[in-house]
Structure 1
Amino acid sequence: MSDKNGFNFFRKIWHILGLIIPISLYLDPFQDHYNLVYASRAVIVTGLGIFLFLLLLVEIVRLNSVSFEAFFFRYFGFLMKESERSRFNGTVPYFLANFIVVLLFPPEIAVLSILFLVIGDPTAAYIGSRYGKHRFYNGKSKEGVIGFSSAAFLVGVLVLGILSFTNPDSFLSLFHRDRFQWEPLLVLFLGVVSSCLTEFYSSTTAKGLIDDNLLIPIVGAVVLSVSSLLFLYDVPRELIFNPVHLYLQK
């Protein structure tokens, strides 16, 4: 398998694995464990924090040691782009974004914002590379933008629909007091638009630490949260931007 094919194969697997965190948040597998109110979020945040620390440690050593960088790229280069040899691997901002949104935002917000990246970004890349004919100044295409926004919105609607039946008391439920409410769709739309614009305008800076992998979920989560506070009912205000609640004892 060539380096390019190896990277493409790994990227496809990575996109599939990227669904683990939002699915785990939704299923809440550690509910009623460890005597914590938000046990699943606490476990996920702790695991992400440990993994992120180790990943950052490896990357810092790699970027500051010529011999280690040569060793790493020789055996693990198929996991990286050539341009990442002199900057942080794209997995660092990705896991940093997951850590931040799971730590600071309610599960519903975190799930949607992560899915904007996991679903929208690869869809934009695929459609843009295969069918993109109308290019912007930065090389991105109208077709890719449409692909991102359409895929992210449709998956978001699916999530809201499932949430409405499995957790009707959620502030993002499409039903409130036995009537349909359109406001969650507006909140979703604003989140998708903001994430799509972030993907369009974002660039890679700070040695690769800041890129669309980091910015899309964070911007999406902030816009979803602010929009929820403006347009929805029964929003858990005490949870938004408040990580301390993750470790509350029952």
Structure 2
Amino acid sequence: MNKENDTESSVESSTTTEAPKATATRHDLQFPRRFFHLSMGTGAGIIYYMFLTHQAAVSILGTAACLVYIVEQLRLNYPEHASTFSILTKYLLRAEEQLKESAGMPFVMGLLLTLLSFPKVVALTSIFTLAIADPMSAVIGIRFGKNRIVKGKSLEGSAAFFISTFLIIFGVFGFLFDNDMSLVTLLAIIVSLVMTAFEMLPIKLDDNLTIPIVMGLITWFCTGFLGIPTV
């Protein structure tokens, strides 16, 4: 009798804590994840530009990084409470991220390190590139990519990355910070070409971390070379 009760209790407990399994891979469109990526990054950039000082932005993102880290550790180390993270698992995680750290931590760390390392105009350009160009290239590449350049990358996806990055640089440096448009156009062409080539490289590091940092370094170097002010 006790054994039957224990079995029923065990089944009931496992049922109440079981979370939906993530089945999406990096080859799936997974629109909720792409939209979350785009909206969070774009929102962070807009808020930083319009309302926050550098110190305030660093403090807020530093706190966000701590919270994301804590949530990730709870999710990974307490599987008995997996149902608590059911929405996260169902809509935002990929299959390979269920038992390891998700892209959320590299994403917020990429934003934080970008803010810490670069002047505001460069940081904004890098943040918007990560937020917009990265998911745009993925969606276009998955949906319309037919001409493969390298493994996992298509001509269509890379073209989307180039165009998005070009427009971001042109908009941030030319309109938000009112620089000389001829120099801004040259900057946009050079940096977009270099970043598009970089994005094709088969680097094992998470691109949520590498894209904004490399974008910031290249943009900062090119602005100095072209004489475009960043302060």
Q: Which interval holds the TM-score relative to the shorter structure?
A: 0.7 to 0.9
Q: Does 2:88 correspond to 1:76?
A: yes
2:229 and 2:30 mapped to 1: Cα distance?
Answer: 45
Instruction: Indicate conservation of the 8 Å contact 1:194/1:219, yes or no.
Output: no
Q: Aligned in 2, Cα 1:185/1:55: closer, same or farther, shift over 3 Å?
A: same
Instruction: Indicate conservation of the 8 Å contact 1:110/1:221, yes or no.
Output: yes
Q: Does 2:145 correspond to 1:150?
A: no
* 1:90 alignment partner AA: A
Unaligned 5+ segments in structure 2 are: 1-20
2:212 and 2:121 mapped to 1: Cα distance?
Answer: 13
The 5 A counterparts of 1:1-250 are 8-27=31-50, 29-30=51-52, 40-68=53-81, 70-78=82-90, 79-163=92-176, 167-168=177-178, 173-174=179-180, 182-204=182-204, 210-236=205-231
- Partner residue in 1 for 2:15: none
Q: Deviations over 1:68-94 (max 9, x none)?
A: 5x3455453122111111321111111
Unaligned 5+ segments in structure 1 are: 31-39, 175-179, 205-209, 237-250
Instruction: Indicate conservation of the 8 Å contact 1:199/1:216, yes or no.
Output: yes
Instruction: Indicate conservation of the 8 Å contact 1:187/1:227, yes or no.
Output: yes
Q: Secondary structure at the match of 1:86?
A: coil
Q: Deviations over 1:144-172 (max 9, x none)?
A: 11111012212321223312xxx44xxxx
Q: How many residues align?
A: 207
1:26 and 1:202 mapped to 2: Cα distance?
Answer: 33
Q: Secondary structure at the match of 1:119?
A: helix
Q: Secondary structure at the match of 1:136?
A: strand
Instruction: Indicate conservation of the 8 Å contact 1:156/1:188, yes or no.
Output: yes
Same amino acid, percent of matched pairs:
27
Q: Aligned in 2, Cα 1:130/1:7: closer, same or farther, shift over 3 Å?
A: closer
Alignment RMSD: 2.7
Instruction: Indicate conservation of the 8 Å contact 2:120/2:230, yes or no.
Output: no
2:48 and 2:115 mapped to 1: Cα distance?
Answer: 8
Q: Deviations over 1:70-121 (max 9, x none)?
A: 3455453122111111321111111111101111211110111111121211
Q: Secondary structure at the match of 1:19?
A: helix
2:213 and 2:110 mapped to 1: Cα distance?
Answer: 6
- Partner residue in 1 for 2:6: none
Output the TM-score relative to the length of structure 1.
0.72
Q: Secondary structure at the match of 2:102?
A: coil
Output the TM-score relative to the length of structure 2.
0.78
Q: Aligned in 2, Cα 1:234/1:77: closer, same or farther, shift over 3 Å?
A: closer
Q: Aligned in 2, Cα 1:87/1:46: closer, same or farther, shift over 3 Å?
A: same
Question: Highest CA radius of gyration, 1 or 2?
Answer: 2
